[in-house]
Structures are given as structure tokens and as C-alpha cells.
Amino acid sequence: MYKTYSMEIAGKTLNVIIGKVAAQANGAVLIQYGETTVLSTATASDKPRDGIDFFPLSVEYEEKLYAVGKIPGGFNKREGKASENAILTSRVIDRPMRPLFPKDYRNDVTLNNMVMAVDPQCRPELVAMLGAAIATSISDIPFDGPCASTQVGLIDGEFVINPSQEQWKNSDLNLTVASTSEKVIMIEAGANEIPESKMIEAIYLAHDENQKIIEFINQIVSEVGKPKHEYTSCAIPQELFDEMKKIVTPQEMEVAVFTDEKQVREENIKVIQEKLEEAFADNEEWLGLIGEALYQYEKKTVRKMILKDHKRPDGREITQIRPLAAEVDIIPRVHGSAMFTRGQTQICNVCTLAPLSEAQKIDGLDENEVSKRYMHHYNFPAYSVGETKVSRGPGRREIGHGALAERALVPVLPSIEEFPYAIRTVSETFESNGSTSMASTCSSCMSLMAAGVPIKRMVAGISCGLVTGDTDDEFILLTDIQGLEDFFGDMDFKVTGTTEGITAIQMDIKIHGLTRPIVEGAIARCREARLFIMDTCMKSAIAEPRKEVGKYAPKIIQIQIDPAKIGDVVGQRGKVINTIIERTGVKIDITDEGAVSVCGVDKEGMDEAVNMIQIIASDFEEGKTYEGTVVSIKEFGAFIEFAPGKEGMVHISKISKERINRIEDVLTLGDKVKVVCLGKDKMGRISFAMKGVR
């Protein structure tokens, strides 16, 4: 027998079906919100994985195209690797749930979410987040939940709980908030320059909604939840810590850790590790635990010094930002480039402009989104952290960082009508020591301005960290966290925005949630820091977008034609438009509404292409002068081509003021001539004359 539980959320019914499918998983739910249906399962291995010092959690979000009545493209006609949206959704599910598993748990856990049907009124990403949380909560896997998630939109100045796909696309705010029964545990947002106070209001509107869902989940767990299974703890023995402190005192560890040079710190820790390995050479059990034990010893040292003494590893004040530097045009010939440096984090961004036909095509579960005009890609090579590793393409982290910087800049981009280009920015990480995604936002913004993209306002980003004590009131916020503070701290709170408001938020935490004072403090601290970065650094490199695109960037001329004439411009099987492209070297895009974009580098070729299109798309006017090429000569007249597929004839009697016997005496094939339109002759044909035309 299976059970169904239901509740109303934002006017739509959430159904949770348990015990009907996937009975061999540790926990499984078939969850429906409206008609959107997701199968969420949670499974765990029986034993911990040997030789690892981390929790091996895998989160999958599977987009099945049958969910929206599509057959996948390509030769195989089946779903391939995860889409960018699927990867980003997996990350959003992972981030709030990972901290709620025991820190010493080493069993493999997989949370799988398979989208089986999509109702455009109910976004499948949200349903998967709820499904994963419920499946894990009712399973026997150790988990300190439940947690719940709510999305908030802002339509015409009003908040909308769990907006539809169409509302989400057109909303001024795309906010996802995950909560436990007490605290906020995850925030993900894209926003159209939303003021900080409005953002906080939306966050806690979602948090309040989450409490209703958590109460609902608790009811389910009380009735069908399994007892949590016992597991082998992988915690480091306290005896090992005690012995380590005899060999390396806390004072020695502080000296090793507290330096503003990442490489110096790593060398200091390496020396300490060698010292400990030599001391415990005869104890095989402890020898295998030294790496993790040293990490925890270092972590406790850093946290104590920050929280108790307000001393940061590199000697900065709590609110101080690392040294900043910015410059543009560092790469020749590209359409735009910029480099942003913050301490030992350095990003070079390159901007490329192209016609709209080069926008990214998207084949996913949102039928309203079929292409993406702005693309931001982020690369993180091993050399940026002094390591050696073969590049295997972007991983989930790189895709996530690229998407965050992309989301940060979308609100300030010009409309297609203002700037009819597809735009790609690529962030190359030259050096990394904390918050490269925020450095990517800054460098991307400057790169766009250097390329002549007329963005509305400058965007900057910064990350705020956190170290907490034993009580909710004992905490300290850190502006501009470096890598060590990220690894050993409790939070990575990234905020991007303009002078007017927030454009994106991404919050990662390692603890069981944040209190409202922490959230409000972090948002305020990030605003102060991003304004400082813009005023003291970015504006000194480039204060406003350039008035024109660069020398090597393609230029675009836009014209409007009668949509009924599109077929004439394109020609049978594209013959006409391809001839224009071949002759002029341009690229041409035509929308169904008749908007034509002519893209090229050579202005003469672009003007020629525009002239051809205008001739093809308009009727000949009596009395108007035209220029064309002689393409055929007959006994009775010469045929003139004004544009591919559009010709006219000049009768032999209309070629010259003097009488001629043979047209070849006056004209040859390929001659450029000017003619005047005489209107229609007795047969209804358009005729032209050369004589008397200058």
C-alpha cells in the first residue's frame, strides 16, 4: 500500500506519493506540484568509502524531454550529458542539503531527481528540491532535516510565491530560498537591481513559506519515516589531536598559518606535516589520519584567531578588501578585454561580439526559452592554484561560477533593439585565492564596456565570509574572504550589484543555517564593498562604455522590411541571400517580423548589402534613379541586375540619345550603369531608360 500526502502552496496542490515506486531506494517519493511530476530518490552505501576525507554526496537532476513532449535531437535520439540548467539545479539542491548530513559520515549518498512531466505553471526545479529533501528525510540515511525550498518572483512590484515558468522569465526577481525549521540555509538570486531592503523582505517571505512546508514534511516523517541507520564514524580521535599539540604547539601553528602569501603558508604547513609524519612513523593507524587531522588543527587555529582576536590570516582588518588593480585592453585584436586583480585572485576576461544568429540555442524543459543571447563562460586551470592537472573541460563548479557572473550582468545589458549583438564573455582564471566568481563579474563588466557594449550601469561583486561561535549571537563577518577563510569559515555569501541594487546572490554555508542578523549584515557589508571596488578601482580603468565597438568587432546595420518580402530576400532555397553574402562578405539575420541585421567588418560591403536588400524588398518607383550591372544583352535591349534576383530591362531605344544599331557598341557585360525607372509599359512591365541619366 502506498500513501499520498497533500498540501496547498501558492494556490496549487502539492502531492507526495510514498511507497508506490522505487521501493529499493533508501527513500523515494513521487512528487507532483500541479501536474509537474518528479521522482526523487535517496540511496546510501552500506559502508563508508575507504581512503577519503570528505562526504561523497552526488546530486543528479535528470531532464527527460518526454516531460514536455519532445524527442531529443541528434543521431542517438536520447538524452545525453546533463544540460547547463540541470547542472545548476543539481548544485542548488546540493548546497542546502550537504551541511545537514553528519560531518563524519563517509558512506556514498546519491540523490537522484528525474523530471517526468512539466506543467508550465509549476517549475520542475523547485519540485525536485522539495522531492530530494522529503526522500532523504523519510529514508534511514542520517540527516538533520527536514529542509524546504520556496521561490519568489517580483511582478509589477508585487511578490509572487512559486511563479510559473513565464512569470519566472519576466520577473524582476528570481529568488530561491531553502530553510530549516529555524534558519535560512541557502539563497540563490538573480535580480533586476533590487534594493537590499526589498531583497531581505523577499528572503524572509520565502523563509516563512518554508516553515509551512517543513511542518508538512514532519507530519510525513512521523508516519512513514524510517529509523536512521547506524554508521561508522570517521571522526579523528581526540588522542591524536592531543599528541599533535605536544609536537606542534598552537603558537607554532599560528605562526605557520598567519601570512598573506598563500605559497608561504602552504610551505609552512608542508614542513609541519613532515614533522608529524616523522613523529608518528611507527603508528600506521594515526599516520593515515595525519592529513585530515592537520587540516582540522589548522582550521581550529584560524577560526579561534578570527573569532576571539579579530585577526585574519593575512593581517587585514575585518572589513578590509585586499589590494585591487584593474586594466582594460590587455589583449590585442579581441573585441574587448579586461583584467581584475584582488590580492592573489586574478581574472582576465575577453568579450566577443557576433550577430544574433550566433546566440546559444537551448533544448530543455522550458519551452519559453529557446535561445540565449548573452553567454558567460568561466575557466579554472590547474596552474591558477599552482597545481598540475590535465584539463578535461569545465566541471560543475566552473559551470556554476560562469552562470553566477552571467546572471549578475544580464540586468544591465542593453536590449536587442539597442544593441543587436550576441555577446560572449570568457573569464580565464590566472590566479586564485578566493572568490574568483566575483572577480569574474568585475572583469566581465569592464570587458563589456571596453568592447563598446552600452551597459546601463557598472556591476561589481564581492564575497562575505563568516565565523561562528557557540551561540547564535557569537559571530563575525569577514569582507572579501580569501581561500583559507572560505575553506575554514562557515559561509561564502556572494553578492553582485550596481549602485542601485542587487543583481545576483549565491550563498554557500557549512553550518545549519543563518540568523536574520547574519543575513542582513552580510548583504549590507557586500553593498559597501562593491561600491568601494567600483569607485576606487574599476572606474579608474574604464568609467563608462565606449561609444562604438572596436576596430576588429563586427558592425551591425539594422533595417526594417515588409515581412511579405522576406521570401524575395531569401530566395528559393536561400539562393538570393547567399548570393548577397558571397558578394559582400557580410552576415545577414532576418526575423519573422522583417527586422534585418547586416553584420560585417567592411563598411563598404555592409552598405552594398543593405542597398541590395532594400532594392529587393521594395517596388521600383517611377522617376527614381537606380544603379545596376549589365548581365545580359539581347537584340532588343539590355538586362540590368540591381540586386540578386531583381532585374530590369532597358530597351535599345532608351539606351542612348543617338540612334544605335547594336547594343554591344555602347554596352558590354559587367558594365555598371545608372538608369531611371519609367514605370510600367503597355504590357504592364517595368521599363527603364539610360539616356539622360547622369
Q: Residue 38 sits in a domain of what CATH number?
A: 3.30.230.70
Of all residues in the chain, the percent with pLDDT exceeding 70 is 99
Q: What CATH number does the domain containing 589 carry?
A: 3.30.1370.10
Average pLDDT rounded to a whole number, residues 191-219: 98
Q: What CATH number does the domain containing 267 carry?
A: 1.10.10
Residue 626 belongs to what H/E stretch?
Answer: strand 625-633
Domain match, 536 and 563 both: no
Q: Which of 309, 332, 367 is the last residue of a domain?
A: 309
Average pLDDT of every residue of the chain: 93
Does residue 337 lie in a domain region?
yes
Spatial separation of the C-alpha atoms in residues 659 and 406, rounded to whole Å: 70
Residue 671 has pLDDT above 80, yes or no: yes
Domain match, 304 and 329 both: no
Domain match, 341 and 247 both: no
Residue 526 has pLDDT above 70, yes or no: yes
Spatial separation of the C-alpha atoms in residues 408 and 401, rounded to whole Å: 11
Residue 544: burial class (beta carbons within 10 Å; 0-12, 13-18, 19+): exposed
Domain match, 285 and 378 both: no
Instruction: Provide the 3-class DSSP secondary structure of residue 258.
Output: coil
> Which of 587, 85, 534, 590 is CA-nearest to residue 353?
587
Spatial separation of the C-alpha atoms in residues 42 and 99, rounded to whole Å: 16
Does residue 230 lie in a domain region?
no
Does residue 608 lie in a domain region?
yes
Q: How confident is the model at residue 496 (pLDDT cuts 50, 70, 90)?
A: very high
Domain match, 502 and 586 both: no
**Per the structure block, which three cell numbers stand in for 312?**
585574519
What distances in angstroms separate CA 353 from CA 424, 453, 490, one per listed residue? 7, 9, 40
Q: What CATH number does the domain containing 632 carry?
A: 2.40.50.140
What lies within 8 Å, CB to CB, of 219 at 6+ separation is 5
Domain match, 431 and 523 both: yes
**Residues 23-70: tens digit of each pLDDT:** 999 999 999 999 999 999 999 999 999 888 889 999 999 999 999 998
- pTM to 2 decimal places: 0.89
Note the pLDDT of residue 658. 85
Residue 364 has pLDDT above 80, yes or no: no
Q: Which of 576, 599, 616 is the last residue of a domain?
A: 616
Q: How confident is the model at residue 188 (pLDDT cuts 50, 70, 90)?
A: very high
Cis before 146 (ω within 30):
yes
Domain match, 372 and 437 both: yes
Residue 19 has pLDDT above 90, yes or no: yes
Instruction: Provide the 3-class DSSP secondary structure of residue 358.
Output: helix
Domain match, 526 and 572 both: no
Domain match, 440 and 577 both: no
Does residue 51 lie in a domain region?
yes
Spatial separation of the C-alpha atoms in residues 525 and 521, rounded to whole Å: 6
Spatial separation of the C-alpha atoms in residues 563 and 567, rounded to whole Å: 8
Instruction: Report the domain count for the chain.
Output: 5
Domain match, 633 and 609 both: no
Spatial separation of the C-alpha atoms in residues 478 and 467, rounded to whole Å: 8
Q: How confident is the model at residue 285 (pLDDT cuts 50, 70, 90)?
A: confident
Beta pairing partners, 461 = 496
Do 399 and 377 touch, CB atoms closer than 8 A?
no
Note the pLDDT of residue 369. 65
Q: How confident is the model at residue 288 (pLDDT cuts 50, 70, 90)?
A: confident
Average pLDDT rounded to a whole number, residues 261-270: 88
Do 169 and 369 touch, CB atoms closer than 8 A?
yes
Does residue 110 lie in a domain region?
yes
Residue 114 belongs to what H/E stretch?
Answer: strand 107-117
Task: Note down the domain range covering 113.
Answer: 3-148+200-224
Q: Which of 309, 338, 354 is the last residue of a domain?
A: 309
What distances in angstroms separate CA 64 from CA 69, 72, 78, 584, one per listed residue? 9, 9, 9, 44
Does residue 675 lie in a domain region?
yes
Domain match, 19 and 131 both: yes
Does residue 315 lie in a domain region?
no
Domain match, 561 and 680 both: no
Does residue 336 lie in a domain region?
yes
Note the pLDDT of residue 645. 87
